Amino acid sequence: MQDLTIAVVGATGAVGAEFLRIVETRYPTLPKLKLMASSRSAGKIITVGGKDLVVEEAAVDSFDDVDIAFISASSAVSHKLAPAAVEAGAVVIDDGSAFRMEDKVPLVVPEVNGSDVEWHEGIISIPNCSTTPLVMAAHPLHQVNPIKRIVADTYQSVSGAGGGAMDTLREQTERLMDSDYLTIKSEEGQIAYNVVPQIDRFMETGYTFEEQKMRQESQKILHAPEIQISATCVRVPVYISHSASVHIEFTRPMAVEEATKLLNAMPGITVLGDQDTGEYPMPWDVAGEDDVFIGRIRQDMSHPNGLVMWIVSDNLRKGAALNSLQIAEELVYRGRLKPKSASELTG
Ligand SMILES: NC(=O)c1ccc[n+]([C@@H]2O[C@H](COP(=O)([O-])OP(=O)(O)OC[C@H]3O[C@@H](n4cnc5c(N)ncnc54)[C@H](OP(=O)(O)O)[C@@H]3O)[C@@H](O)[C@H]2O)c1
């Protein structure tokens, strides 16, 4: 990784900042980093690994010397910059929903479908931050007992909506702390002391786009369009980490012990506690952790072939920045990424 030049578009955002924190701690020798954001941030200094780096305004001609362009800004920015980065010879790892469902774009969680990076044509997408933990849990179970149906209800932190939403939660929490909640109604966009059962826009189906993403993206990553998935995505007043209550229906019954063993053997998953210990993962504790944490695994009383579990993961790390870096590592591991600087040296 240290031979690569990585452009980080969105370096000043919540995901971009986490990306840089992970780079600092994951690689003994840092790759060359080009930090980019909007014109508002041009000239800003960000210190990474003790080095002061200047943020540039991202433009279509910014990628000539870049091996990997990590784009984490907005769909509009991805649509504008990704083709230019690919044209310049970079591999784009895109964090948004711009290309995820395109046939020519692999959608990758390396522990689940790492080999899909092999067929990329310049752009690789990472899934939505609620999809990733779901497929991490579903994959090892689906291998031994095909999943027929998943019902997932999420409890998603505000950082999933960007750094600005974290500021909003803090501001509202302080301002509304002493409000008379018995007499006043919630204000528009109120997340403090509230729970909002809508993330992203509504679709014709009555589901939101976030819920549709969980269904379609999971089917694509698991290579299993036959799995029926229904999600309800809810924003909760938590800063970091998304949680989900997940009901899985298998082809045959699956014992809690077998599921626990399979999940424990899956790289990137930590099963925490059981009925005896009374432990379970919570978002506050999981923030800053790389793994997807699973607890409260139990038989579904409403279906003989069903299991229920509670899944928590840091949406900024495994849900976004870490997954992107793991995709880059997968490309390097498979010999699918050669630094441009190396080809210059060898002519
Ligand atoms: N947050 C999550 O958990 C999560 C998980 C998975 C995927 N994602 C996706 O990641 C992306 C970024 O999310 P975030 O949470 O980091 O948002 P954020 O905190 O709001 O940050 C947005 C970033 O995009 C930059 N940006 C905005 N307009 C730009 C432009 N015209 N050119 C270049 N850069 C521009 C911003 O730069 P300025 O500071 O200069 O405005 C900032 O660095 C979104 O597509 C989101 O869907 C987020």
Distance CA 149, CA 146 (A): 9
Ligand 1 centroid, distance to 247 Cα (angstroms):
31
The response to whether residue 217 sits with its C-beta less than 6 Å from ligand 1 reads no
Q: Which atom from ligand 1 is nearest to the alpha carbon of 76?
A: 31
Q: Domain extents for the chain?
A: 5-127+320-345, 131-157+195-315
CATH number at 131-157+195-315 = 3.30.360.10
Q: What is the pLDDT along the chain (347 residues), one digit of tens a residue?
A: 788 999 999 999 999 999 999 999 999 899 999 999 999 999 999 999 999 999 999 999 999 999 999 999 999 999 999 999 999 999 999 999 999 999 999 999 999 999 999 999 999 999 999 999 999 999 999 999 999 999 999 999 999 999 999 999 999 999 999 888 878 888 889 999 999 999 999 999 999 999 999 999 999 999 999 999 999 999 999 999 999 999 999 999 999 999 999 999 999 999 998 778 889 999 999 999 999 999 999 999 999 999 999 999 999 999 999 999 999 999 999 998 877 776 554 44
> One of 120, 129, 142, 233 is an active-site residue; which one?
129
Q: Show the CA angle centred on residue 264, arms to residues 261 and 270, nearest 5°.
A: 145
Is residue 260 within 8 Å of residue 238, measured between CB atoms?
no
pLDDT in tens, 229-241: 999 999 999 999 9
pLDDT value, residue 217: 98
Among the listed residues 120, 139, 142, 242, the single catalytic one is: 242
> Which residue's C-alpha comes closest to atom 28 of ligand 1?
38
Query: How far apart are the C-alpha atoms of 316 and 306, rounded to whole Å?
Result: 30
Strand partners, 196: 235
Amino acid at 280: Y
CA distance 297 to 189: 34
Nearest residue to 292 via CA among 273, 318, 316: 318
| Residues in Cβ contact with 177 at an 8 Å cutoff, skipping those fewer than 6 apart | none
Q: Report the separation in Å between the CA atom of 14 and the middle of ligand 1, taken as the mean of its atom positions.
A: 7
pTM metric for this prediction = 0.94
Active site (annotated) includes residue 303: no
Q: Looking at ligand 1, which residue's alpha carbon is closest to its atom 40?
A: 38
Is domain 5-127+320-345 given the CATH code 3.40.50.720 in the classification?
A: yes
> What letter represents residue 91's amino acid?
V
Distance 304 CA to ligand 1 centre (A): 43
